[in-house]
Structure 1
Amino acid sequence: MTEGRSIVAIIVAAGVGARAGLGAPKQYALLGGRAVLAHGYAALASHPRISRVIVAIGPGQEAMAREALAGVAGDPWLIEGGATRRESVMAALAAVEAAGGAEAVLIHDAARPFVPSAVIDRLIDALERHEGAIPALAVADTLVRDEGGAMGDGVPRDGLMRAQTPQAFRFGTILKAHRACPADADVTDDAGLLRLMDIPVALVEGDPMLDKLTYPADFARAEEMLRARMLPRTGNGYDVHRLVAGKPLWLCGVEIAHEAGLSGHSDADVAIHALVDAILGALAEGDIGQHFPPSDPQWKGAASHRFLEFARERVKARAGVIAHVDVTIICEAPKIGPHREAMRARLADLLALPLARVSVKATTTERLGFTGRKEGIAAQAVASLLVPEL
């Protein structure tokens, strides 16, 4: 497809998922700490060739959808789907058309949470030569018929493929297919509508990560796959603030009695600022100044724990885990030792971590430099994360 042209992803998330046995729609179940729906949304929304994502949800599911997508979507484009998958897709296509249309759409099932970027690229590239394309995998297992609980004849598997989603189409073609084919057409997916119209659909290489979540055991398997894709990331942060008389001193979210406090636009908690930078650095999402610029008056005097909670939620939004944090405070005074355990406990609470995964240390510069002259306090931090790479 031409670079820069409009490609919209549609996520079908209006089902009830009864076979999963969860007592609630499976697209809102947690997987690796975030909703199944959020995994697929994040993968599609972050792909550089996709311009927008629209989600077709069931009646009364808006609050659940917004909660599920918090952290991965600021203001998600939600529309109410229908009683069937096809009705939901049609509602989404109509919404895209009303918003000005698109050159192409990718239609994806919310129950397939993991969407490898390489598969998206293969699908979009295939639309250069075809009206539609789907990812598929060859059937590897022996196939047999079930004859009343007994093994029946084998089914030849030569040429058989397992179809997956997302499925990609030129927008005008799939819209026409949905409108032209009868409502009771014997198809199970959108590509089947093109086949009814004798429009060839290309096959591209799929990925086992795209397997659908249907039964309870599928969720356990998906958790294992997610853990297997976890890769370590490390970030470091460093910050300095000047000491001034007449201000409260905050370190690691704990107020310390001292003759001077730290000067800054917020409460100037130098230790938390360094830790926020370490976490954002591990995510490769910039630094604290980009997200909370000192030029913005809303952050004047703000409690720094808000910045740390934001960083924690960014890790959660990436389905990541904070494995360990280590903060070093550099100053001549005050003495950090008497407050160390309170600082560790406060950081552990803010990050929702066990105390054993939070380290706070202190050192001096042997009276050298600005910290040695008691002009300011410095802090450095290291954050170790595990983040899935799909």
Structure 2
Amino acid sequence: MRQKSIAVIVVAAGQGERASVNGDAVPKQYRPIGGKPVVARTVAAFLDVEAVSHVLPVIHADHDGNFAALDLADARLLPPVSGGASRQASVLEGLKALEPLQPDYVLIHDAARPFVPRALIEAVIAAIADNDGALPTLPVTDTIKRSPDGHMVAGTEDRRQLHAAQTPQGFSFERIFSAHRRAAQIERDFTDDAEIAEWAQLRVVMVPGDRDNIKITHPDDFNRAERLLQGDSRMETRIGIGYDVHSFAPGDAVWLGGVKIPHSAKLQGHSDADVALHALTDAILGAIGEGDIGVHFPPSDMQWRDAASTIFLRHAGELVRRRNGRIVNLDVTIVAEAPRIAGHAPAMCAVIAETLGITASRVAVKATTNEKLGFIGREEGIVAMASASVEVPRVD
């Protein structure tokens, strides 16, 4: 079977004015991070993927000299083409330039995302094999307010249905090229290529994005990018451990890992008594030296009566973000004779990941019994143990 050809369009045609510092005239895509220009890092990320057949930069008409100064050399790197007046127009120019090559698939990526990981690129490529398009997304963790006038709140969006889009966005070349040509004929500004695909009624699937796949837009983003590059020299990894236990009480279901599981009893507690999320929350708080769950949500405070434990977990995750940290991985072990838990573990991982705004691959949930020993063996309650690995800026 013939190997599919995959072309990449790196969109670098903007002026980058929002990222300028003190009137710096160098466009953001040509400014260095760790001694290497942004766009050079972006191009290199795709050339590092063996499945990629061609990489086509789309640049501003006035930036020929800037791009030539990068001195990039690779047989798969095509000569840059000039973009248009908008991102949408620039992508169309790139698609036109690729037409003679007739690639099977095309990935469209913002040059201002220089840290796109190989695994993410490969995940998008794999997803478009069975779909018209694919894009990486991250779950939205903040509460989103709607305000038509930018002043008064008019409503609150359901963030469970909201996802932040990243690039690269991958498509069948012919289908997205056709959609772009038709979109150019109407008076509408599309925010990204996936929106054009949606408008053209193409089938677009989401794949998990990556928190480090940041887009450099404002001056402070360069500082964050430098921190990402410096990695271990500026960051340190901390480990937290959590333990919780709840006894059974009359009821018909238990909450574990944010999932309601039918059972002949419930867990006794002030909140929903989700022993797994309580242990996990304590583990995260412990990793960043923020005490335990009782410090932040005292059981004496009636506002937390029957509260969902995802509230506690989300708060712990927000404290990590406030420290400019990130959650590396989480591991939860639930010890119970009943109910049977293993079959619910994937759903628990998904709830935990969505609550914290991380990928499910960073979460592990395991279950075991106590071999009929002790109060657990007598089915009087459930124990959960958790560990959290958190990366935060180093404090000397």
For normalisation by structure 2, the TM-score amounts to 0.54
Distance in 2 between the 1:40 and 1:94 partners? 21
By how many angstroms is 1:186 displaced?
Answer: 3.8
Residue in 2 aligned with 1:286?
A: none
Query: Which residue among 79, 82, 89 is the counterpart of 2:81?
Result: 79
Following TM superposition, by how much is the alpha carbon of 1:42 offset from its aligned partner in structure 2, in angstroms?
0.2
Contact 1:34–1:68, Cα closer than 8 Å, also in 2: no
Q: Residue 231 of structure 2: which of 214, 228, 231 is its match?
A: 228
Conservation of the 8 A alpha-carbon contact between 1:42 and 1:72: no
- 1:223-372 superposed matches below 5 A: 223-228=226-231
In 2: Cα distance, 1:125 partner to 1:75 partner: 22
**SS class of match (1:93):** helix
- Aligned residue type for 2:225: A
**Does residue 92 of structure 2 align to residue 55 of structure 1?**
no
Q: Which amino acid aligns with 2:106?
A: V
Q: Determine the structure 2 residue equivalent to 1:127.
A: 128
1: distance between equivalents of 2:121 and 2:232? Answer: 18
Closer, same or farther: CA 32–171 of 1 in aligned 2, 3 Å: same
* Distance in 1 of aligned mates of 2:165 and 2:157: 18
User: What is the match of residue 366 of structure 1?
Assistant: none
The amino acid of 1:127's aligned partner reads: I
Verify the 8 A CA contact 2:83 2:94 in the aligned structure 1.
Answer: yes
- Cα distance in structure 2, aligned partners of 1:45 and 1:3: 21
Matched, 1:157 2:156: no
Distance 2:169 2:146 in 1: 29
Provide the secondary structure at the position in 2 that maps to 1:97. helix
Residues 1:21 and 1:93: Cα distance change in structure 2 (over 3 Å): same
Q: Distance in 1 between matches of 2:76 and 2:232?
A: 26
Question: Is this contact kept in 1: 2:42–2:114, CA < 8 A?
Answer: yes
**What is the CA–CA distance in structure 2 between the aligned matches of 1:125 and 1:151, rounded to whole Å?**
41
CA–CA separation in structure 2 for the residues paired with 1:195 and 1:74:
30
Please give the secondary structure, in 2, of the residue aligned with 1:141: coil
* Cα contact 2:5–2:52 (8 A) shared by 1: yes
Q: Secondary structure at the match of 1:38?
A: helix
The structure having more radius of gyration, on CA atoms, is: 1
Letter of the 1:34 partner, please give it. K
Give the equivalent residue in structure 2 for 1:37.
Answer: 39
Distance in 1 between residues matched to 2:4 and 2:42, nearest whole Å: 22
Unaligned runs of 5+ in 1: 232-390
CA distance in 1, matches of 2:47, 2:211: 21
- Identity among equivalent positions (%) equals 39
Residue equivalent to 1:136: 137
CA–CA separation in structure 1 for the residues paired with 2:68 and 2:105: 26
Q: 2:90 aligns with which of 76, 88, 91?
A: 88
Q: Which residue matches 2:360?
A: none
Aligned partner of 1:24 in structure 2 is 26
Q: 1:72 to 1:148 in 2, by over 3 A?
A: same
Decide whether aligned partners of structure 1 residues 41 and 136 sit closer, same or farther in structure 2, where only a CA change above 3 A counts.
Answer: same
Distance 2:76 2:121 in 1: 23
User: Which secondary structure state, in structure 1, belongs to the residue aligned with residue 4 of structure 2?
Assistant: coil
Deviation at 1:24, TM superposition (A): 2.6
Find the aligned partners of 1:204 and 1:123 in 2 and give their Cα distance: 7
Whichever residue aligns with residue 56 of structure 1, its letter is V
Q: Distance in 2 between matches of 1:109 and 1:51?
A: 18
* Number of aligned residues: 229
Q: How many Å separate the matches in 2 of 1:152 and 1:224?
A: 38
Q: How far apart, CA to CA, are the structure 2 residues paired with 1:35 and 1:186? A: 29
Contact 1:132 1:201 in 2 (8 A): yes
Structure 2 gap ranges (5+): 235-396
Q: Following the alignment from structure 2 to structure 1, what is the Cα–Cα distance between the partners of residues 73 and 44?
A: 9
CA distance in 1, matches of 2:131, 2:150: 42
Q: Does 1:4 align with 2:3?
A: yes
Secondary structure of the corresponding residue to residue 142 of structure 1: coil
When the two chains are superposed, the root-mean-square deviation of aligned CA atoms in Å is: 2.4
CA contact (8 A) 2:88 2:190 kept: no
Q: Within 2, Cα distance between the matches of 1:52 and 1:15?
A: 22
TM-score normalised by structure 1 residue count: 0.55
CA drift of 1:4 comes to: 3.0
Per-residue CA deviations over 1:181-219 (Å, capped at 9, x if unaligned) read 234234211111111111121000110121211111111
| Aligned AA (1:11) | V
Distance 1:30 1:180, change over 3 A: same
Match of 1:335 in 2: none
Task: Quote how far apart the aligned CAs of 1:75 are.
Answer: 6.6
Measured in 1, the distance between the counterparts of 2:207 and 2:114 equals 19
> Are the counterparts in 2 of residues 9 and 54 from structure 1 also a CA contact under 8 Å?
yes
